[in-house]
Amino acid sequence: KQEVTQIPAALSVPEGENLVLNCSFTDSAIYNLQWFRQDPGKGLTSLLLIQSSQREQTSGRLNASLDKSSGRSTLYIAASQPGDSATYLCAVNNSSNTGKLIFGQGTTLQVKP
Amino acid sequence: GAVVSQHPSRVICKSGTSVKIECRSLDFQATTMFWYRQFPKKSLMLMATSNEGSKATYEQGVEKDKFLINHASLTLSTLTVTSAHPEDSSFYICSGRTGGQPQHFGDGTRLSIL
């Protein structure tokens, strides 16, 4: 059974810092992995999607890496801003047929001005 | 593109009533829709998967008679919480996808049962 874990659960950094969020999964036979952002009381916004054959994806100040063999992914946020404050969720898709996503518990990020 | 609209965004009702939540894909045909439940400061837990025109597939531990899911068209799925009780209070989020594409999420519904 696939399990997804995110560390740390919460993180507080001053504005401008670069930071790394971690995600690990127990079953390396994944189809793809996604990073989402969730603002309080809101739905999910997809940030980056990495296919199992890819090593990383970049969008603006965000870079996500995937090491399938070790069951790890990281989300790197460069030059953090207060507007980056949110909960970041990692989700693994084991099957393209079902499309089911298994989510980690999330990392709640606070960027202080 | 790929917008999913969820309604209502918040609902407060008395214990014992039934509550219906709608999930609509506005600009794509959602062949599959998913319903999730999220407890405070917890992750999303998949409740059920529904394919248009078929019965929903429920995850282990989810009562199908309690959480009725209907996916009658390619743009609309509904979740009805029957005879709701305070323990059903939660944040419910739907998503839709077409074919093998990634899921697109609604903004969620905050359900509070008094």
pLDDT tens profile B81-104: 999 999 999 999 999 998 878 899
Instruction: Give the whole-number percent of chain B exceeding pLDDT 70.
Output: 99
Q: Which residues in chain A land under pLDDT 70? A: none
Q: What is the mean pLDDT of chain B?
A: 93
Interface of B with A in 72-91 (CB under 8 A): 91
| B49 interaction partners in chain A (CB closer than 8 Å) | 98-100
Any chain B CB within 8 A of the CB of A99? Answer: yes
Q: How confident is the model at residue B55 (pLDDT cuts 50, 70, 90)?
A: confident
- Residues of chain A with Cβ-Cβ distance to B58 below 8 Å are none
What pLDDT is recorded for position B11? 96
What lies within 8 Å, CB to CB, of B7 at 6+ separation is: B21, B22, B24, B109
- Give the count of beta carbons closer than 10 Å to the beta carbon of residue B76: 17
pLDDT value of position B56: 92
- Per residue in B25-36, pLDDT (tens digit) is 999 999 999 999
Q: Is the pLDDT of residue B72 over 90?
A: no
pLDDT of residue A32: 94
- The answer to whether the CB of A92 falls within 8 A of the CB of A37 is no
Structure tokens, A99: 């499309």
Using the beta-carbon criterion (under 8 Å), do A99 and B32 form an inter-chain contact?
yes
Q: Does A11 contact chain B (CB < 8 Å)?
A: no
pLDDT value of residue B41: 77
Band the pLDDT of B54: cuts 50, 70, 90. Answer: confident
Per-residue pLDDT at B39: 87
Chain A residues inside the 8 Å CB shell of B95: 44
Nearest CA distance, A41 vs chain B (angstrom): 8
Task: Give the CA-trace dihedral at A30, A35, A40, A42, to 10 degrees.
Answer: -70
